């Protein structure tokens, strides 16, 4: 038996009221779902866009290097003021290699490594494989091309691709690509007593020399980026046919002069690019 309509209310009106109420409730439910989804979306979007945190090993290595730099800055300044001998700086460099970069003094390092009658100050091993030579000079000595040729000789003869020059204050890292001729790329250099280079910035650079980073070859990406944008590489790209042709067209657009491509390339080579880059 059906429900009896309320007094004074027509049966058809009751149906209409019930239907409207259902529609309203359904609409409210849809709106509620949309609002809930909308509220959750920004958080989910933020979660997706949040950059991945650095691995713990990398954070610890950076902090270890940064702490060591702060600890040795004053002793280094004192050694520089009295022009300490090269042996004193080797002690400082040994501390860097072990305490800052994390190498084991007995398993990962070798001193006075003999190469054809000459002796490299340090050799660095990763998993017993020789990966780098370190040449140490006095802090008063400017690291020069002569010093680079010295450590280059060690690297070429031993098939090692990484070379480190340092006077404890300045650290230079070079990459050697074998062949005829060999190719040398300076990957980075950092001056630890430069007031414009705070310990954190210096540590971020030297991080790539840590045992953990060298083992994972993070320095390879730094080298590839530097090599790709090195002056000699940019000079060679500037003289390629597509670039010269683009320059010729732009020159014609701006000046109305229709230069010969080969003549334009020769002019760029002789007047724009440094002679040592071509």
pTM over 0.85: no
Q: Are 129 and 123 in contact (CB under 8 A)?
A: no
CA atoms of 156 and 185, how far apart (whole Å): 14
pLDDT at 122: 97
Helix 56-81 vs helix 86-95: crossing angle, to nearest 10 = 160
Q: For 248-274, what is the mean pLDDT?
A: 93
Contact criterion met (CB below 8 Å) for 173 and 188: yes
Mean pLDDT of 156-185: 95
3-class SS letters over 224-262: HHHHHCCHHHHHHHHCCHHHHHHHHHHHHHHHCCCCCHH
C-alpha closest to that of 123 among 136, 110, 135? 110
- CA 193 to CA 136: how far, in whole Å? 17
Write out the DSSP string of 89-150.
HHHHHHHIIIIIT---TTTTEEEEEEETTEEEEEEEEETTEEEEEEEE--TTSPP-HHHHHH
Residue 77 near residue 139, CB atoms below 8 Å: no
pLDDT higher than 50, residue 29? no
Percent share of the chain, pLDDT over 70: 81
- What is the distance between the alpha carbons of residues 205 and 53, in angstroms, rounded to a whole number? 18
Contact 141, 169 (CB under 8 A): no
pLDDT reading at 166 higher than 90 = yes
Q: What pLDDT is stored for residue 32 in this prediction?
A: 46
Q: What domains are there in the chain, each with its CATH number?
A: 56-223 (3.90.1570), 233-277 (no CATH)
pLDDT tens string 172-182: 999 999 988 89
Average pLDDT (10-17) is 41
Per-residue pLDDT averaged across 239-246, rounded?
94
Average pLDDT score over residue span 203-231: 95
Residue 16's pLDDT band (boundaries 50, 70, 90)? very low
> Per residue in 67-105, pLDDT tens?
999 999 999 999 889 888 878 888 999 999 999 999 999
Query: Residue 227 — pLDDT band, cuts 50, 70, 90?
Result: confident
Least confident of 24-33, 110-119, 187-196: 24-33
For residue 25, is pLDDT > 50? no
> Looking at residue 51, what is its pLDDT?
53
pLDDT at 12 over 60: no
Question: Which of the 8 DSSP states describes residue 4?
Answer: P
The per-residue pLDDT for 45 is: 42
Highest-confidence segment of 100-104, 227-231, 237-241, 257-261: 100-104
Mean residue pLDDT across the chain? 85
């Amino acid at each position: 038996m059906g429900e009896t309509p309320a007094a004074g209310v027509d049966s058809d009106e009751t149906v209409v009221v019930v239907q409207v109420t259902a529609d309203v409730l359904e609409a409210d439910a849809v709106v509620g779902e949309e609002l809930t989804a909308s509220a959750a979306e920004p958080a989910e979007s933020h979660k997706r866009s949040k950059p991945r945190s650095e691995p713990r090993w990398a954070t610890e290595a950076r902090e270890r290097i940064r702490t060591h730099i702060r600890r040795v800055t004053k002793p280094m300044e004192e050694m520089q003021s009295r022009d300490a001998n090269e042996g004193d700086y080797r002690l400082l460099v040994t501390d860097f290699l072990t305490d800052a970069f994390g190498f084991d003094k007995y398993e990962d390092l070798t001193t006075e490594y003999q190469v054809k009658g000459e002796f490299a100050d340090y050799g660095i091993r990763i998993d017993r494989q020789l990966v780098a030579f370190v040449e140490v000079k006095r802090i008063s000595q400017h690291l020069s091309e002569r010093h680079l040729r010295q450590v280059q000789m060690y690297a070429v003869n031993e098939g090692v691709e990484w070379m480190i020059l340092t006077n404890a204050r300045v650290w230079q890292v070079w990459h050697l690509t074998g062949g005829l001729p060999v190719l040398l790329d300076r990957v980075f250099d950092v001056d630890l007593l430069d007031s414009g280079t705070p310990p954190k910035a210096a540590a971020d650079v030297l991080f790539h020399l840590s045992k953990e980073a060298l083992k994972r070859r993070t320095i390879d990406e730094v080298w590839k980026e530097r090599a790709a944008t090195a002056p000699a590489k940019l000079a060679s790209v500037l003289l390629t046919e597509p670039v010269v042709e683009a320059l010729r067209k732009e020159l014609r657009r701006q000046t109305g002069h229709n230069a010969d491509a080969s003549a334009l390339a020769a002019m760029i080579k002789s007047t724009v690019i440094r002679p040592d880059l071509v």
